[in-house]
Homo-oligomer: A and B are copies of this chain.
């Protein structure tokens, strides 16, 4: 009954922190070195690196050494897994509203009966 998808668990947990979302917002505009990701955050570099680790574990960010700099990029495919789960809920919800609308539209009109 319960879908124990570890990916979605890690993914949504990674998105539940403002520092990690700030990193993703920056990386959506292009790749960046770790130092640039950490700079605007109100925390130490080691703390920022921990957040980056959570994003990497969730598959949301990948990083690679380029010379002496570690460059980070977003993994848009992983973010779209989260988007797909939410979209699927919305589609079900909207279908349900459609069915409810059809049901209400096909109800006998009690007012009209009274008028006959």
Contact = CB atoms under 8 A, between A and B. Distances in A.
Interface residues of A, number: 40
B13 A9 contact: no
A51 B100 CA distance: 28
Nearest to A85: B21
B30 A5 contact: no
Copies in the complex: 2
A16 interface: yes
Nearest to A99: B30
A42 interface: yes
Interface of A: 1-5, 8-13, 15-19, 21-22, 24-25, 28-30, 40-42, 74, 76, 79-80, 82-83, 85-87, 89-90, 92-93, 96
